[in-house]
Structure 1
Amino acid sequence: MADVRRAGHSRVTGQMARDGMLERALAVLGCFSEQEPALTTAQIAERTGIALSSTHRLLASMLDKGLLMPVPGRRYSIGVRLWELGELSPVSVRLRECANPHLMRLYEATGENVHLAVLDGATPQTSAALFIGRITGRQSIPTLSRAGGRDPLHATGVGKALLATRDAAWLARYFTGTRERETQHTICDESALRAEIDRARARGYATTREEMTLGNISVAVWMPSVDGLPPAALGVVVHLDRADERRLAALVTQTARELHADLRDGD
């Protein structure tokens, strides 16, 4: 009996150690950002709260497994192995790869920034628009979004389109969170934002006007749901001076319809 208890304790202890290693590795990866893609050992130790000696050992293990890579200045950045694994996600293999030709045609028809985003977050309060596809050109107006980047739902066209797909219970939880004012035009008030969602549902597309970036208008459409994929939306961002909202809405809606048909036929 004692041997059984010791064996059970050993298994539990081993599992806790493995879970601890995973948590520490995730903490290290969470230190990196678009603004700081490369960090020193000391910076990582300070931000994770892991002892410096333990950080050295952990980074060596993550380097060996390709989760991190060394860069000049005795710093580290995200490793290629993580990119390789990420490309196996259905969001890449199914959604983005199927969407790319459609995004290109939409770009050719508009000459403007084209975005594909999915809803991502552990809870409604922490959810954001995660950009998985983006096509831009020399004449397109600069935007803050990037592939792999996150933008708030309330301040972006694709974000509002994604909000329009959520039910009352989800939205009730979402509105308990905070919403930052990205520009002086950002709609943060719950009543006003709910009205925006209602308008989007009524007309079939969502818009923002200078709510994430000054001078821009965004027109976006949500995708019908597809089994095995998160909620998705696609849109275009153009300068206010050359925005034809109805034309853009028709083009984006048609693209979403064609993309959904391809996704459905591929199942």
Structure 2
Amino acid sequence: MNSSDSSPPRRTASSEPSVKSADRTVAVVELVAAEADGVTFSEIQHRLELPKSSLHALLATLVQRSWLQMDAAHRYRVGRQLQMIAAAGHRDDDSVVDAAVDLLEGARDELGETVHLATLVDTDILYLASRYSRHALGVRFHSGRRLPVYATGLGKAILSSLDPADVPHHLPVTLTPLTEHTIVEPALLDAELTRIRQQQYAVDREEGTPGLCCVAVSFSAQGRNYGLSCSKPTARWTAGEEVRTAELLTQVARTIVRRLR
């Protein structure tokens, strides 16, 4: 082998713009995907500090290729093509969702509140399916939404089921508060996870969303970690219902696992 064979590939001057463009594309897609309510051109430009002309061209291409879409309010959202790509990475979740759908509906009817099925993806919780309460004032989290794992009942329930040594791998370097109630001190989060392991369910009191509380449990299926939760506005929250709610969600989780065997 001659010396030219062993040398690393060299980045040419012409490759620099391509790398820069790729970085910008990824940054835009990640920003839009993180915003459930969409994001405007001005918001993207301000937060990423990109040149307006370059951003216009980039967004036009992403919309044309269906990676993004723009709604009637001129807010950019995740497009059909990006949703298909994301779904391809979670096909194993489809069978879990199929096994859970009627059970989610039953739990929703019995508890009278919104129930969610979610899984762990890196440092986030990914919502897979929901059945919404029939109350006028209810909880609406669409499938595909992601929230930081440390700031949700679902996330804390799943974290508590992991080997403690693996927990740090699913936490960002900095625990940024989503509300004034978010647990952002590592020591306090460790204590919370210990408590959840002991009682076998997690409680979220406005830690991820103001005015929203939930009870959550975790389970494993097909080699992945999942969570079930019941969410309701704080105005309808009754601490005495936590155990009953957790027991029902645990029964649902066990039934899902049995169906998948």
TM-score in terms of structure 1 length: 0.73
Q: Secondary structure at the match of 1:259?
A: helix
Q: Give the structure 1 partner of residue 96 of structure 2.
A: 95
C-alpha deviation, 1:179, in angstroms: 4.7
Q: Give the structure 1 partner of residue 105 of structure 2.
A: 104
- Aligned equivalents of 1:28 and 1:62: distance in 2? 10
Q: Give the structure 2 partner of residue 124 of structure 1.
A: none
Q: Is the 8 A contact 1:160 1:206 kept in 2?
A: yes
1:186-197 aligned at under 5 Å gives the runs: 186-197=182-193
Structure 1 residues 251-260 or 133-142, which shifts more?
133-142
Task: Give structure 2 stretches of 5+ with no counterpart.
Answer: none
Report percent identity of matched pairs: 27
Q: Is the 8 A contact 1:183 1:213 kept in 2?
A: no
Q: Secondary structure at the match of 1:169?
A: coil
C-alpha deviation, 1:53, in angstroms: 4.0
Q: Is the 8 A contact 2:177 2:183 kept in 1?
A: no
Cα–Cα, structure 1 residues 86 and 192, in superposed 2: closer, same or farther, change >3 Å? Answer: closer
Q: Secondary structure at the match of 1:178?
A: coil
1:60-99 aligned at under 5 Å gives the runs: 60-72=60-72, 76-88=76-88, 89-90=90-91, 92-99=93-100
Q: Is the 8 A contact 1:217 1:243 kept in 2?
A: no
Task: Give structure 1 stretches of 5+ with no counterpart.
Answer: 122-126
Specify which of 135, 138, 161 is matched with residue 157 of structure 2: 161
- Aligned equivalents of 1:74 and 1:164: distance in 2? 41
Letter of the 1:233 partner, please give it: G
1:116-155 aligned at under 5 Å gives the runs: 116-121=117-122, 127-139=123-135, 142-143=138-139, 145-155=141-151
Cα–Cα, structure 1 residues 36 and 169, in superposed 2: closer, same or farther, change >3 Å? Answer: same
C-alpha deviation, 1:222, in angstroms: 0.7
C-alpha deviation, 1:73, in angstroms: 7.0
C-alpha deviation, 1:54, in angstroms: 3.6
Letter of the 1:257 partner, please give it: R
- Aligned equivalents of 2:212 and 2:47: distance in 1? 36
Cα–Cα, structure 1 residues 29 and 234, in superposed 2: closer, same or farther, change >3 Å? Answer: same
1:59-104 CA-partner distances (Å, limit 9, x unpaired)? 3432332213344577654322222333333265333333222211
Cα–Cα, structure 1 residues 86 and 202, in superposed 2: closer, same or farther, change >3 Å? Answer: same
Cα–Cα, structure 1 residues 157 and 81, in superposed 2: closer, same or farther, change >3 Å? Answer: same
Q: Secondary structure at the match of 2:149?
A: coil
Q: Is the 8 A contact 2:133 2:139 kept in 1?
A: no
| RMSD (Å), alpha carbons | 3.7
Q: Is the 8 A contact 1:113 1:237 kept in 2?
A: yes
Q: Is the 8 A contact 1:39 1:77 kept in 2?
A: no
C-alpha deviation, 1:175, in angstroms: 8.6
Q: Is the 8 A contact 1:215 1:240 kept in 2?
A: no
Q: Give the structure 1 partner of residue 238 of structure 2.
A: 241
Cα–Cα, structure 1 residues 192 and 12, in superposed 2: closer, same or farther, change >3 Å? Answer: same
